[in-house]
Structure 1
């Protein structure tokens, strides 16, 4: 493997090497498992229960709609990732299509998502571990960490960072081993509960309590973000984030991105149906929304409680163990993602060049360090910390919205560029993907969006304070961005998703969806029309992609 420098000017520091490239050592299974390791995390242990609380048995439809939405976005990412296999790719595509203003915004949300998921998963590990006596003193009554719990959390974060620091080959091997476990356990759980439940399966549950769909269409859609369905599907883009370290990105990235969503969709729908059928009718109560109170009063885990309730106590023990392993695997891969996103943003001059410094194992060491520090900050017992982190994670779909816009811009500006995976009907799927991502933002509600506004302002103050190439900071190419952000906020406030009990929220479900779709389509075609000129896009991409391809060339037989 050669060591010729790239054209990116990054200062070295901390023993790292700037300008060197990441090592291409991950195959298709490693990429697929990187995405699957993110998709199958702590979410599956709670998603089925939360789905029933929010939408009743119609949560099955919520999982299908959520999976279809993410699949549309994944198809767009597959073409982009194979076309330009850049580390931290999903955070960088808007930069090349629309310049620094738009790129900085989407890059900021990508980084926030990546660095906050790991501490969320570590916190979940500790919460599950408190089921055992040895960990009972790690949390207070309000579920904030004690001094001992904080020390354990820091140690767990440090372990994840050390594994990342050792190199991508060790990371891929460790994550692959964990992901095999993480995929097998939920599949195994569905099969065992359906075939060996001692109390039998209860098909009457489909119409128990207040019916199949007590909340109607609104309930089904609100459950997609509220029940953690979108959170559970997040992670397919991890194959894109590691594209700069793929052996054969043009073939493997589309397979990994699309394959992870299809597998995740099958697993999650199976889990929801199995959970519903195994649930004892006697514990459901009069309404699905209050179903959790008498039966799921503790944080021990709904799946483990159901397993115990149907006479499968040994399975409950396995699930308690998985409740530690699954979050650990997801936290591990997101620690890697955070450092790769910051590496990519540094190469685009959004972050300081030190984030592009690499170790001898070609790991972005400073990004790993900052991910560790950010995770430790999240562990501090701030008021409403969990709601803030949950907000950042749920709102990461805003990052996904940059991909279909970039897709459309590249299709128009670079029609003859090589596309190893060319999405059929891309001219239809790209605007549809942008509409879908905007709908998901709508469904999160006003309480989420006004806080997102604060984060947007914070990111602007941090990123735009840096001196950047004036040609890259193209305001015309990003003229649609403030209109989009303000527009979706206004629509949400006055929509049925604006909040309960507010007289100003008057639009029904279908008018809300229709107006949001119109806004998204107007912004999509506006953005494509004002994207950067062809020669600027080609020069910006060539400055990064061509040197990386030369540096990352893998000798035959590697």
Structure 2
């Protein structure tokens, strides 16, 4: 397989991604393992109110997606999320955010592999430890690593071929959930179960279920269309349509799935209350429900889909993560060999990194729900930058020609940033602690490399423009510790914590705008990015 270094040839990526390809890339990233497990875990946390969890999650993600719809049309680049941060706060933030984005992408194919083996464990009981809430056995770990390898190999084909395969997969991934909704509702005979155990859930569960049950995780895939922006024939039109369309389509499917799941439950499933909801085959919730209702063919179909839906999602996340690494190499935030392309013009070295590090991530998070919390927290953290960048560009470049202009951005962007921080807070102190410690270690390692190995001065690191990150991350960590969610010390009740996070977010918005690049520097940065693809 031939290799080109691409230095001096930033236009090497093909522009073969059209509107349907981009729409389906985002849709297949959103309809992955989340639909197979989310309804079950959400029901345990929020009971019948779990329907509202999916509605609230869709609203939050749509607010964020609308901000990125305008930004993505301005930055039609592969790995566009890396380039955006350069425009608002300079190269220092761009370097940090590039690696944070990588840490958010690389874990997703791993969690999709875990979803596949978790469902398969129902008929091949070798992959999950008994009575362990889904922890992998050694055999399960090896199988997950091999599955990640398959996804990596498939990503070595040209993007046109990859998206053609994904289009076929996505039609399946839309059809099966819709069929599941229809069949389960038609077969349900115990709709009164919605009124069971009325004291077994609280209103706060609507919000804590967003990260814990994988609801926000299920919606995060809209960014796939943004990642492939540099390979789109008409990015100014195609990217916003794909981003917004995929969120709307997925939201309708997920809400209907939660309704169907609740309708299909039987009174005996709730003998121990919503928090202990259980039934035969609960490790594969929808297939288990179909089997208990006597719909054997549906259960079989869902076991087949348990390979296809997570596999398709993992496939596209390897694609997106490789483009993030390509952009990291292109912006000199990482080694130049990340830009190496194979004969199909695919960044093969970045694909290889996605596979290796994805396998490593199976170690600290050897269960689907454990990894979902981490992915939600770090991904929403990286998404939080989007509204900030939008506000900076609206201020610094008001006359910039925009192929898509977000109406009401002065309200939507701050609301999206506040919602991002709420999701991080609702993830809980234990998961947030791992996240912020990981970021702190990574930041210190990168700062040491920049100053001690490369011997570059502090002025080039951009400390003045990235200093606001410390109060943002540190403040969220402290508030998470004081809260009563996911291992917090309970000093703050649920709603006082929500209010304080909102107020802190407003302060961080002010601080980030005050720390942004001057208008002339933003203009120069955007001109420089025209040389990238």
TM-score by length of 2: 0.92
Distance 2:211 2:140 in 1: 29
Is 1:275 matched with 2:261? yes
Deviations along 1:283-332, one digit per CA (max 9) or x if unpaired, are 2125211122xx15652x11111111222111011000001111110110
Q: Is the 8 A contact 1:491 1:512 kept in 2?
A: yes
Distance 2:365 2:215 in 1: 25
Deviations along 1:498-547, one digit per CA (max 9) or x if unpaired, are 637x4xx2322322111111111111122123211222222222222245
Deviations along 1:416-448, one digit per CA (max 9) or x if unpaired, are 111111000111111111001011111111111
Cα separation, partners in 2 of 1:517 and 1:27, compared to 1, 3 Å: same
Structure 2: give runs of 5+ residues left out of the alignment.
none
Cα separation, partners in 2 of 1:540 and 1:229, compared to 1, 3 Å: same
- For 2:202, the equivalent position in structure 1 comes to 216
Please give the residue correspondences for 1:140-539 in structure 2 after superposition, counting only pairs within 5 Å: 141=130, 149-195=140-186, 197=187, 200-211=188-199, 214-292=200-278, 295-296=279-280, 299=283, 301-379=284-362, 389-395=371-377, 396-464=379-447, 465-466=449-450, 467=454, 473-497=461-485, 499=487, 502=489, 505-539=490-524
Distance 2:99 2:529 in 1: 20
Is 1:18 matched with 2:14? no
Deviates more, 1:304-313 or 1:17-26: 17-26
Deviations along 1:381-440, one digit per CA (max 9) or x if unpaired, are x68576763343121211100100111111111111111110001111111110010111
Deviations along 1:441-469, one digit per CA (max 9) or x if unpaired, are 11111111111121112321443324479
Is 1:118 matched with 2:109? yes
Distance 2:290 2:514 in 1: 55
Cα separation, partners in 2 of 1:485 and 1:257, compared to 1, 3 Å: same
Structure 1: give runs of 5+ residues left out of the alignment.
1-12, 549-558
Q: Is the 8 A contact 1:32 1:256 kept in 2?
A: yes
Please give the residue correspondences for 1:41-120 in structure 2 after superposition, counting only pairs within 5 Å: 41-120=32-111
Distance 2:291 2:277 in 1: 17
Q: Is the 8 A contact 1:31 1:256 kept in 2?
A: yes
Cα separation, partners in 2 of 1:184 and 1:522, compared to 1, 3 Å: same
TM-score by length of 1: 0.88
Cα separation, partners in 2 of 1:240 and 1:547, compared to 1, 3 Å: closer
Q: CA deviation at 1:233?
A: 1.0
Distance 1:228 1:547 in 2: 35
- For 1:10, the equivalent position in structure 2 comes to none
Distance 1:152 1:453 in 2: 30
Deviations along 1:103-154, one digit per CA (max 9) or x if unpaired, are 333322210111111122122222322333xx44455546666665555434
Q: CA deviation at 1:44?
A: 0.6
Instruction: Say how many residue pairs are matched.
Output: 522
Q: CA deviation at 1:485?
A: 0.8
- For 1:551, the equivalent position in structure 2 comes to none
SS at match of 1:235: helix
Deviations along 1:226-257, one digit per CA (max 9) or x if unpaired, are 11111111111111111111111000101111
Q: CA deviation at 1:165?
A: 1.1
Cα separation, partners in 2 of 1:356 and 1:544, compared to 1, 3 Å: farther
